[in-house]
Structure 1
Amino acid sequence: MPEPELIASEQSEQDELLSSLQQESFAYFIHEINPANGLIRDKSRPYWPASIAAIGLALAAYPVGVERGFMTRNEAVKRTLAVLRFFTNAPHGPGSDATGYKGFYYHFLDMNTGRRVWNCELSSVDTAFLLAGMLVAQAYFRHETAEEEEIGKLADALYRRADWHWMQNGKAAVSHGWTPEKGFLPYQWKGYDEALIIYLLGLGSPTHPLPKESYTAWTSTYTWKKTYDVELLYAGPLFVHQLSHAWIDFRGIRDSFMREHDMDYFENSRRATFVQQRYAKVNPLEFENYNEHCWGITSSDGPGPVTEQVKGILRVFYDYIARGSPYGPDDGTLAPWAVVASLPFAPEIVLPTIENFERMSLRKAQMYGYKATFNPTFPVEPNREFGWVSLYHFGLNQGPIVIMIENYRSGLLWSLMRQCPYLLTGLRRAGFRGGWLES
């Protein structure tokens, strides 16, 4: 049995490692911002637009930054107010040159004007991430100052503005989005994916709520699978098992689907994490560097699109795509951030993998923590252990690193969202019972 001093030393080293990784990842939100309006760049490419999901993650990360000493409370208040004031006053209507409509917002916004770019969609899921960040801010900034009181009022008003019923487009499930040019997109959020938070926030709305039947439509298309002798609610990309969990503590609370399977969504994410590791150990497609301490497949940037002959094997490489395991698509591209974001679920396999990433120097020459993605199988010159490496970092990647490290260390975000009455209402209307929800 290890000596207590040795255990304490190892824990101290791990805590120091997590602290430095968290702070470096948080730096993305310090620098990739327009201070005038608080908008956060989608990725670290010059002149790239903002992403409303990245803005929501930044809002959720600011309380972590305050608590960990990465920024002052005054600075966090200033940035949060800038964002909330911007969305409160931004152009809102059915025109093509607006910021949002019906309480939802366009996926990508010009960093300076805050208006729609690229003819993108009014995004239901990315709006949910944005509103979740606003509700975190409302729960955290409760000091008796005029600025923090304003944060609470603006966040509340913006959440209440969202017309979830409209976003159903007359159907049972929620639409992926809408454009002024073509109307609603031909897809609805069905089956298990990152949209769980849509339904919980939509069901909890006091102004334009989703009906309970929408949640039934969502869960009715779930896929339960047995993979590597592990039974779980299946989704291939690892981020699906993380993003809603960044905000919500699913430990011990269950909806009717999970009661039928005698588990909860937290345990499901734990199982999905182990499936990812087992897939890397089996490595059926014989990719370079896949092993028990080098894994992590999710939606991510990649070296393609291109087809290359590599060591006698014809391989197809993708660019940005929803990679998944064990059923693919997979082209050998690994995303270290997705491993870190599984830390609360399976620390016994995530921590050794993080330590291996440190040995691989995955932070070397990077501004914001780990390389976003790398592909050791993709041929590059000169040859190097990492193979191809993404040129950019993404706000959608950096946020889960900061938030999920904190949920593992202190449960801060989970604690804050437990104080959100709208979320509690949404969970109960979705049929969740048990655990902390009963106390």
Structure 2
Amino acid sequence: MKKSINNICIYGLGLLAMFSCEREKRDQENLHAQGYDRHVELHWENTSDDVYRILVGTNGKDYTLRATVEDTMYMDFVGDLGTDLELYYKVESVKGDDTEPVGETQVRTRVMNEEELLDMVQYYTFRYFWHGAEPVSGMAPERIHIDGEYPQDDADVVTTGGTGFGIYGILAGIERGWVTKDQGLARFEKITDFLAKADRFNGIWPHWIYGKTGRVKPFSKDDDGADLVESAFLMQGLLAVREYYKNGNEREQALADRIDRLWQEMEWDWHTREGRDVLYWHWSPNYEWQKDFAIRGYDECMITYILAASSPTHGVPADVFHKGWARDGDIRNDIEPYGYKLALKHNGSPEYGGPLFWAHYSYIGLDPRGLKDDYADYWEHNRNHTLINREWCVRNEGGFKGYGEDLWGLTASYSTVGYSAHKPGNDIGVISPTAALSSYPYTPKESMEVIKNLYYNYGEKVFGKYGFYDALSPEEDWYPQRYLAIDQGPIVAMIENHRTGLGWKLFMDAPEISEGLNKLGFTRSDK
């Protein structure tokens, strides 16, 4: 607030000045602004009008129109005005040919260091799971489209796996003061209560659920029941919440106990189909095992086996991991693309490795630092997987516009041809920000180069109210304003793991996980 306003209010300059003071304070209370490096975020009270005009000035007098919007939030990218700015904003509501003031304020932009950039990226991405959550369930929506209609009428569809990733973002938000521990507790209570009543099949949730009703939304015709992998991603998050609150007050311990019941009710052994040496991904109440999808070999699913082995009530024997997942040892690889050893055969991608979400999803809670078994050093493997993916983009044999040391990362995301698992060998010129950003623990310097390039050079094309949009293609001049929970969640979670190790510590503190890892023959060296 301007010092002159405070001085007038404190000392008074007559009745007219006092009225002016109150009006200006009210205007500033109605309009809130936060300045970052290259943008300003504005919020104002809803006046039940459909259209608002945003005006900006650099001297408090001469204003120009920046935008006309229907929302009560606007992100103004101000690179055209300069840097380190003192800006004055007005917002007006439009009523036919007339306008009425909503509020005015002033704000500064500032040059931000790398830590502040990480704060900003994490905070914006966290908002997907906090402000963007489906209101009845508290769960993460499968997708949020800023630029158009939702496909398949799924605006209220929530995702089990995406919620599991987002839980780590909410925990980070509590620790960073974006919400209080009590607010976080209330949200986790809502999620847990919803999950206890939602459709489950032998204790396993489906991939998608209708947030308003808790009923399953089929992922495909014969995928209308239990999804073991997505449920593993969800429980990976819930166990971290259990550990976070289990030594707290009575209410917090009650939440931990409810999560523990959900965990104990998950029948992992059911998914071996009566003792086979492999886990099966799907079971349907209508089609039973028709999908017949055995989870073998290296991809995003390793956490499924870790949890299945760790279950205190429905655990599976170690042979299910070694004979099923590890293919009786055939999971081992012996190649070095671009000079980086890739110790494990990646399903369908043996030469350069699969999409980068394979280095993220199982490691949101499972700490790969110093984690080894008979098949791989998982920190080395994930880092090399990331560097191979990056090198593919840097070499850019496809000649795609924009690719380079500051724009790399192929993984599953939206694309110019629909949802696609981008990877070396399946590269159509689409970069997914989550690929490099969620790899931050493995490649902090290289990932920061991507953050800076996206924010400073692409700006509003790629950065919105919930962080970086899901995908972009400079080659096609394609910048959709869309988000997917499964891509946003790993960003905030993995950046926090790099900064504080929060998610890794919570999950690895669960005693069952240590027992399960020992059972499977994993060792952990000093980090």
Name the residue aligned to 2:235.
Answer: 131
Is 1:106 the counterpart of 2:106? The answer is: no
Structure 1 residues 242-261: aligned runs within 5 Å: 242-258=360-376
Q: CA shift at 1:60, angstroms? A: 2.2
Whichever residue aligns with residue 340 of structure 1, its letter is: L
Maintained 8 Å contact 2:273/2:280 = yes
Note the alpha carbon deviations across 1:286-309, whole angstroms, 9 max, x for none.
2111112111100111111xxxxx
Q: CA shift at 1:421, angstroms? A: 1.1
Q: CA shift at 1:124, angstroms? A: 0.9
CA distance in 1, matches of 2:246, 2:314: 26
Name the residue aligned to 1:219.
Answer: 326
Name the residue aligned to 1:288.
Answer: 401
CA distance in 2, matches of 1:357, 1:428: 42
Note the alpha carbon deviations across 1:57-83, whole angstroms, 9 max, x for none.
222222111011111111110010111
Is 1:66 the counterpart of 2:174? The answer is: yes
Whichever residue aligns with residue 281 of structure 2, its letter is: H
Name the residue aligned to 2:341.
Answer: 231
Name the residue aligned to 2:489.
Answer: 399
Whose RCO is larger (CA < 8 A, sep 6+)? 1
Name the residue aligned to 2:197.
Answer: 89
Q: CA shift at 1:349, angstroms? A: 1.5
Is 1:356 the counterpart of 2:453? The answer is: yes
Name the residue aligned to 1:181.
Answer: 286
Ranges in structure 2 where 5+ consecutive residues have no aligned partner: 1-110, 347-352
Aligned partner of residue 336 in structure 2, secondary structure: strand
- The structure 2 residue matched to 1:413, chosen from 503, 517, 526, is 503
Ranges in structure 1 where 5+ consecutive residues have no aligned partner: 1-10, 91-98, 259-263, 305-318, 379-386
- The structure 1 residue matched to 2:187, chosen from 68, 79, 82, is 79
Name the residue aligned to 2:122.
Answer: 22
Q: CA shift at 1:375, angstroms? A: 1.3
Aligned partner of residue 129 in structure 2, secondary structure: helix
Is 1:334 the counterpart of 2:431? The answer is: yes
Aligned partner of residue 78 in structure 1, secondary structure: helix
Whichever residue aligns with residue 182 of structure 1, its letter is: Y
Maintained 8 Å contact 1:363/1:370 = no
Q: CA shift at 1:362, angstroms? A: 4.2
Maintained 8 Å contact 1:363/1:369 = no
CA distance in 2, matches of 1:102, 1:436: 38
Rg comparison, structure with higher value: 2
Structure 1 residues 421-436: aligned runs within 5 Å: 421-436=511-526
What TM-score do the two structures reach when normalised by structure 1? 0.85
Maintained 8 Å contact 1:35/1:82 = no
CA distance in 2, matches of 1:406, 1:83: 22
CA distance in 2, matches of 1:333, 1:12: 28
CA distance in 1, matches of 2:409, 2:460: 16
Q: CA shift at 1:436, angstroms? A: 5.0
Residues 411 and 363 of structure 1: CA distance in aligned 2, closer, same or farther (over 3 Å): farther
Is 1:44 the counterpart of 2:144? The answer is: yes
Identity of aligned residues (%): 29
Name the residue aligned to 1:93.
Answer: none
Q: CA shift at 1:126, angstroms? A: 0.3
Maintained 8 Å contact 2:166/2:493 = no
Aligned partner of residue 44 in structure 1, secondary structure: strand
Q: CA shift at 1:143, angstroms? A: 5.0
CA distance in 1, matches of 2:175, 2:359: 26
Note the alpha carbon deviations across 1:315-371, whole angstroms, 9 max, x for none.
xxxx1121112xx21111110111111110111211222222222234556121112
Name the residue aligned to 2:467.
Answer: 369
Name the residue aligned to 2:96.
Answer: none
CA distance in 2, matches of 1:303, 1:223: 34
Q: CA shift at 1:428, angstroms? A: 0.9
Q: CA shift at 1:230, angstroms? A: 1.7
Structure 1 residues 383-394: aligned runs within 5 Å: 387-394=477-484
Is 1:272 the counterpart of 2:390? The answer is: no
CA distance in 1, matches of 2:252, 2:483: 31
Aligned partner of residue 439 in structure 2, secondary structure: coil
Whichever residue aligns with residue 73 of structure 1, its letter is: K
Note the alpha carbon deviations across 1:67-126, whole angstroms, 9 max, x for none.
111111111100101111122233xxxxxxxx1111111111112001111354421110
CA distance in 2, matches of 1:156, 1:281: 46
Name the residue aligned to 1:314.
Answer: none
Note the alpha carbon deviations across 1:138-177, whole angstroms, 9 max, x for none.
0111353222111110111111111111112243111121
Aligned partner of residue 405 in structure 1, secondary structure: helix
Name the residue aligned to 1:210.
Answer: 316
The structure with the greater share of residues assigned to strand is 2
Q: How many residues align?
A: 390
What TM-score do the two structures reach when normalised by structure 2? 0.71
RMSD: 1.8
CA distance in 2, matches of 1:355, 1:222: 37
Whichever residue aligns with residue 234 of structure 2, its letter is: L
Whichever residue aligns with residue 409 of structure 1, its letter is: R
- Greater Cα offset, 131-140 or 47-56: 47-56
- Greater Cα offset, 171-180 or 218-227: 218-227
- The structure 1 residue matched to 2:261, chosen from 154, 157, 162, is 157
Note the alpha carbon deviations across 1:45-68, whole angstroms, 9 max, x for none.
452411111221222222111011
Whichever residue aligns with residue 354 of structure 2, its letter is: G
- The structure 2 residue matched to 1:303, chosen from 401, 411, 416, is 416
Maintained 8 Å contact 2:130/2:170 = no
Q: CA shift at 1:219, angstroms? A: 1.4
Aligned partner of residue 358 in structure 1, secondary structure: helix
Aligned partner of residue 393 in structure 1, secondary structure: strand
Maintained 8 Å contact 1:340/1:401 = yes
